[in-house]
Each structure stands twice: as structure tokens, then as C-alpha cells.
């Protein structure tokens, strides 16, 4: 199994999910969220593809189950797929929640999939 630095993908994931815009849609599925991570992360040189997929699956599950609104989550996925890098939120509260949800999911899932607590 290839080794990769524990937090090598964190900046890509945070920028991928720390984005929202204004467009109506229903809540994306766990698979749609995971695929947005993969697209946003691009080529993660040195990363074990299986480990990366497990990490993204875990994160997608946690983010899907979070308190984020359907609208915000849908916008996050859309923006991640489009490679947008600017953050636009409807409110400061939604921005804070989105950042917390993404960071918590990233930390928890990287610990779980890498076997470090």
C-alpha cells in the first residue's frame, strides 16, 4: 500500500466543500458527494486510490448526514464539480456550519481510514 501524508488532501477537500452559490436542488446522495471529492481532488500524487476512496466515502456519509441544508449541500457539490474556489454563503451561520462540518468529517475520516486516533 502506498503511503501518503495524512493531511495531503485536506486543502483540496476543504476548498471543494467550502463553497456555496444560489441554486435550488434536492439533497445530493452520498455517492454524488464522494464523486465531487474525487473530481475536486484531481490527481493526488502518491495517494493510495483505495485509501483515498474510503476516506472520501466516509466523509461523504458524514457530510450527507450533517445539519447542512439541502440547498447548501447541493451547492457545495455543484461548485466542487465545477472547480470553483470562492466561498459564497447565504449567512455567516451557514458558513460557520459548513466549515465545521467539513473539517470535522475530514479529521474523523482520515483518522478512521488511516487507523490513527
How do the domains of the chain map onto residue ranges? 10-114
pTM, two decimal places: 0.74
- Give residue 56's pLDDT: 92
Say which DSSP state 90 is in.
S
Q: Which residues contact 114 (CB under 8 A, 6 or more apart)?
A: 6, 51, 55
Q: Which one has a higher pLDDT value, 8 or 39?
A: 39
Residue 80 CB: number of other CB atoms within 10 A? 24
Q: What is the pLDDT of residues 71-94, one digit of tens each?
A: 888 888 888 888 776 657 788 998
- Give residue 11's pLDDT: 52
Residue 43 CB: number of other CB atoms within 10 A? 6
And the C-alpha cell for 41?
481532488
* pLDDT surpasses 60 at 16: no
Q: What is the mean pLDDT of residues 36-61?
A: 85
Query: 19 near 88, Cβ under 8 Å?
Result: yes
- Give residue 48's pLDDT: 83
Query: 45 near 11, Cβ under 8 Å?
Result: no
Amino acid at each position: 500500500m502506498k503511503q501518503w501524508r495524512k493531511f495531503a488532501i485536506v486543502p483540496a477537500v476543504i476548498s471543494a466543500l467550502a463553497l456555496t452559490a444560489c441554486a435550488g436542488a434536492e439533497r445530493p446522495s452520498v455517492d454524488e458527494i464522494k464523486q465531487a471529492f474525487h473530481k475536486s481532488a484531481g490527481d493526488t500524487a502518491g495517494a493510495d486510490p483505495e485509501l483515498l476512496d474510503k476516506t472520501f466515502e466516509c466523509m461523504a456519509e458524514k457530510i450527507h448526514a450533517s445539519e447542512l441544508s439541502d440547498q447548501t449541500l447541493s451547492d457545495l457539490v455543484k461548485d466542487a464539480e465545477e472547480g470553483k474556489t470562492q466561498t459564497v454563503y447565504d449567512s455567516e451561520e451557514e458558513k460557520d456550519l459548513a466549515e465545521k462540518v467539513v473539517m470535522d468529517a475530514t479529521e474523523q475520516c482520515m483518522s478512521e481510514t488511516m487507523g490513527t486516533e
